Amino acid sequence: MRIRGQVSSFSRRGTYIFIRPEGRVAPTFCHRSDVHGADRLREGCSVEFELGRDDFGTRAVRVVALTGV
């Protein structure tokens, strides 16, 4: 299931991207390798993604920018 959200911030090194999903309070994160076109992504961009799980918990995967790139 695809979920929409907005990029809320980046980690200091830019390795992780934090996304605020629509209709949810807590942001989720993704590794920049999970984002198609991550080099052009900016705060406030609308994105679409799926939720995945790894050893650290739930995170956004297969992230695609919808606006702002």
Assign residue 34 the CATH number of its domain.
Answer: 2.40.50.140
> What residues does 48 pair with on adjacent strands?
4, 64
Map residue 2 onto helix, strand or coil. coil
Domain tally for the chain?
1
CA proximity to 66, closest of 13, 23, 19, 26: 19
Q: Note the pTM of the prediction, 2 decimals.
A: 0.83
Neighbours of 44 (CB within 10 A): 10
pLDDT in tens, 17-45: 999 999 887 889 999 899 988 777 889 99
List the domain range (segments joined by +) for residue 57.
3-65
* Rounded to 5°, angle at Cα 34 from 17 and 30: 30
